[in-house]
């Protein structure tokens, strides 16, 4: 069998390897000058004042929630259509994730639903730019500002995306990125929070380093811990990789967008498939490409199509199982099937196709051909 095409993949070249080797030969291998350079360059790239590098996107989420002051009993309104980390990190802080349904077209949190759930216990709104498509940030801001709530944007999919001409990272109170290998750029593992708020930046830096605050007035050796923090540090050699990846980000996104254009052209006239949306006021970095099957037209389940594609070497995935249907969230918070019809309907019919900048034309064409063949097969055999 031909080698399967994965749904996502890093692109590491010689210059990346060289950058990591250089960093390993320097005096610092954990948090040092490369971390600060990575932070400076990432903040500049997205038009934010401050950036704090952390050991993962999940650590970045947890740190951002803690800085927001989320604690036991607080509620955070969020989308059920995201990676589990967005909600898990709320639970780490003792908070309760309040899920609300998504919009059918962008698959992002529905601003109208947010409004209905705001109450005295609400501490923040955690939004995610699904597949790289930014949320309607102005609309969400308009709603939450009235209630003095902070917006934390999980932008693990949308580094380099734009909303109304502005880069993601420059708009929300805190924006979180992940540098996992399938994301837009990678450091192996890694994450970042960018913000325009100096206080947040300072608190994040303390949190990532055990809660330690230096107090030279009491002696050059002295430090105090007022709140126990974590070891959420990123290494210097990971940051060296991140800096070099960031140099190439525009090309990565260009490639992603070209592949998406090819897929869209190939699938737009197939009546069994709904292709993903990109609103005219955004530019998506296209972390993933999700098609939805019109189940009444395909006449077989998503599972059948999924398995058939997988059997033929297409590394399909499903992003994501709605979080409110996960056993923990059902048991702990009482969520159940039927709570959020739009996301549940989406889940029944979604399939993620391979998309990564290093994809060859041959691989792209193989995905297109295989999808057409598998869907065509069921069409003929069900008539
Ligand atoms: C990848 C991802 C995360 C977690 O990032 P890690 O770096 O893997 O910890 C969080 N949220 C979303 C939406 C993601 O896609």
Residue 16 has pLDDT above 90, yes or no: yes
- pLDDT, residue 1, reads 62
List the domains of the chain with CATH numbers: 14-247 (3.40.640.10), 249-381 (3.90.1150.10)
Q: Please indicate whether residue 305 or residue 381 has the higher confidence score (pLDDT).
A: 305
Which pLDDT band, with edges at 50, 70 and 90, does 380 fall under? low
CA separation for the pair 260, 63 (Å, rounded): 33
pLDDT digits over 91-136, tens only? 999 999 999 999 999 999 999 999 999 999 999 999 999 999 999 9
Using CB distances shorter than 6 Å, the residues near ligand 1 are 56-58, 82-83, 85-86, 128, 154, 156-157, 178, 180, 191
Atom of ligand 1 nearest to the CA of 56: 7
Q: What is the mean pLDDT of the chain?
A: 96
Q: Which two tokens stand for residue 71?
A: 């604690």
Which pLDDT band, with edges at 50, 70 and 90, does 14 fall under? very high
What separation in Å is there between the alpha carbon of 209 and the centre of ligand 1? Answer: 21
Atom of ligand 1 nearest to the CA of 180: 7
Q: Stretch 215-244: mean pLDDT, rounded?
A: 95
- Percentage of residues in the chain with pLDDT exceeding 90? 94
User: Which residue has the CA at smallest separation from atom 6 of ligand 1?
Assistant: 57
What separation in Å is there between the alpha carbon of 113 and the centre of ligand 1? Answer: 24
Under 8 Å between Cβ of 101 and 343 = yes
Residue 335 has pLDDT above 80, yes or no: yes
β-pair type (289-293, 75-78): unpaired
Tell whether pTM > 0.85: yes
Residue 382 has pLDDT above 80, yes or no: no
Task: Classify residue 14 by burial, with Cβ atoms within 10 Å: 0-12, 13-18, 19+.
Answer: exposed
3-state class of 58 per DSSP? helix
What's the per-residue H, E or C state across 196-265? CCHHHHHHHHHHHECCEEECHHHCCCCEEECCCCCECCCCHHHHHHHHHHHHCHHHHHHHHHHHHHHHHH
């Amino acid at each position: 069998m031909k080698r399967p095409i994965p749904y996502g993949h890093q692109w590491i070249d010689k210059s990346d390897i060289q950058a990591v080797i250089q960093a390993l030969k320097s005096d610092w291998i954990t948090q040092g000058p490369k971390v600060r350079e990575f932070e400076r360059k990432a903040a500049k790239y997205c038009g934010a004042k401050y950036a704090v590098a952390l050991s993962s996107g999940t650590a970045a989420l947890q740190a951002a929630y803690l800085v927001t002051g989320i604690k036991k009993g607080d509620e955070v309104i969020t989308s059920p259509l995201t990676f589990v980390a967005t909600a898990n990190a709320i639970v780490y802080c003792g908070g309760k994730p309040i899920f609300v349904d998504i919009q059918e077209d962008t698959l992002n949190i529905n601003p109208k639903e947010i409004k209905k759930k705001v109450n005295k216990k609400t501490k923040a709104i955690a939004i995610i730019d699904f597949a790289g498509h930014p949320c309607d940030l102005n609309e969400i801001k308009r709603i939450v500002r009235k209630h003095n709530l902070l917006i934390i944007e999980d932008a693990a999919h949308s580094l380099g995306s734009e909303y109304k001409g502005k880069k993601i990272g420059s708009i929300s109170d805190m924006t979180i990125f992940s540098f996992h290998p399938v994301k837009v750029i990678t450091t192996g593992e890694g994450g970042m929070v960018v913000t325009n708020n100096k206080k947040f930046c300072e608190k994040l830096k303390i949190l990532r380093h055990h809660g330690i605050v230096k107090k030279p007035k009491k002696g050059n050796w002295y430090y105090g811990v007022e709140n126990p923090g974590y070891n959420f540090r990123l290494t210097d050699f990971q940051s060296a990789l991140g800096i070099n990846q960031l140099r190439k980000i525009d090309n990565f996104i260009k490639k992603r967008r070209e592949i998406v254009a090819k897929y869209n052209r190939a699938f737009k006239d197939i009546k069994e498939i709904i292709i993903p949306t990109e609103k005219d006021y955004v530019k998506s970095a296209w972390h993933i490409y999700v098609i939805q099957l019109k189940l009444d037209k395909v006449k077989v389940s998503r599972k059948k199509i999924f398995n058939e594609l997988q059997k033929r070497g297409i590394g399909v995935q499903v992003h994501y199982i709605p979080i409110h249907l996960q056993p923990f969230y059902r048991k702990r918070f009482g969520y159940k099937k039927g709570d959020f019809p739009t996301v549940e309907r989406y889940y029944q019919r979604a399939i993620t196709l391979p998309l990564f900048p290093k994809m060859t034309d041959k691989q792209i064409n193989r995905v297109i051909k295989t999808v057409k063949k598998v869907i065509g097969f069921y069409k003929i055999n069900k008539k």
